[in-house]
């Protein structure tokens, strides 16, 4: 009976990790998360993204995901300790949504940079060569991402990722706050653009396409190039 219970618990843990991106360390012991600082001032991305949007997006929206993620993780930890599989299953969507919100936004802040700090400067080195190989040019890549981002129904994200299995760049979209790992375990995000209305509506109203066009002016390709180089140096 004890063995059967252990097997059931480990199966539940494996399923949870695969579908939420939650690390094993977080399941072994309750761990809380806090809001990361931005690497620039709220007004640093103007006029592309206003200080008001950045402040609300960071302090309110991202903080809410973290608050709810921590709450759900605490409940998950308690349920695991009690062997309460029904509660564990019920917590799946909350952890996926709020944990994904924290993961995605933590990447998003790093994907942006003020123009005085290199924001908008084109990629270089191995990433630039990979973009030319897989998309034809940087312009064609941005057109692809803008089109897919504009086509997201409701809320979600558009990503530039590297598929480590096939050693190829890909563009993917995810719904709501689903992290990119839900599209495939070998996908590593290089750039993610938030197409939730809270990311642009105060400034761009319903013109999501204008937001997508302008955000490239503050895109931090240095960060994407570093992640790309690191992934293949460790491959």
> Would you say 77 is a known binding-site residue?
no
CA distance 17 to 69: 15
Report CA 138 to chain centroid distance, whole Å.
21
CA distance 147 to 153: 12
CA distance 232 to 169: 12
> Would you say 102 is a known binding-site residue?
no
> Would you say 62 is a known binding-site residue?
no
> Would you say 194 is a known binding-site residue?
yes
Residue 173, both tokens? 């979209």
Sign of CA dihedral 125, 126, 129, 134: negative
Count of beta carbons in the 10 Å neighbourhood of residue 132: 14
DSSP state of 103: H
Q: For residue 159, list its beta bridge partners.
A: 172, 192
Binding site members? 57, 105, 194, 198
Binding site members for Mn(2+)? 57, 105, 194, 198
């Amino acid at each position: 009976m004890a063995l059967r219970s252990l097997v059931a618990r480990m199966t539940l843990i494996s399923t949870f990790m695969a579908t939420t991106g939650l690390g094993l360390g977080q399941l072994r012991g309750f761990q809380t998360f806090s809001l990361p600082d931005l690497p620039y001032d709220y007004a640093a991305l103007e006029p592309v993204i206003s200080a008001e949007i950045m402040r609300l997006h960071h302090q309110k929206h991202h903080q809410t995901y973290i608050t709810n993620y921590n709450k759900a993780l605490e409940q998950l930890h308690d349920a695991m300790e009690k062997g309460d599989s029904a509660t564990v299953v019920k917590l799946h969507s909350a952890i996926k949504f709020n944990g994904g919100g924290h993961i995605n936004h933590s990447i998003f802040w790093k994907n942006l940079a003020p123009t005085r700090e290199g924001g908008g400067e084109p990629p270089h080195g191995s990433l630039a060569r990979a973009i030319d190989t897989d998309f034809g040019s940087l312009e064609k890549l941005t057109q692809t991402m803008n089109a897919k981002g504009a086509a997201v129904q409701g809320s979600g994200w558009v990503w530039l990722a590297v598929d480590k299995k096939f050693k190829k760049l890909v563009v993917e979209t995810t719904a709501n706050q689903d992290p990119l790992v839900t599209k495939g375990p070998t996908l590593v995000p290089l750039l993610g653009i938030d197409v939730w209305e809270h990311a642009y509506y105060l400034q761009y109203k319903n013109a999501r396409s204008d937001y997508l066009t302008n955000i490239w002016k503050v895109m931090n390709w240095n960060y994407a190039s570093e992640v790309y180089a690191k992934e293949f140096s460790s491959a």
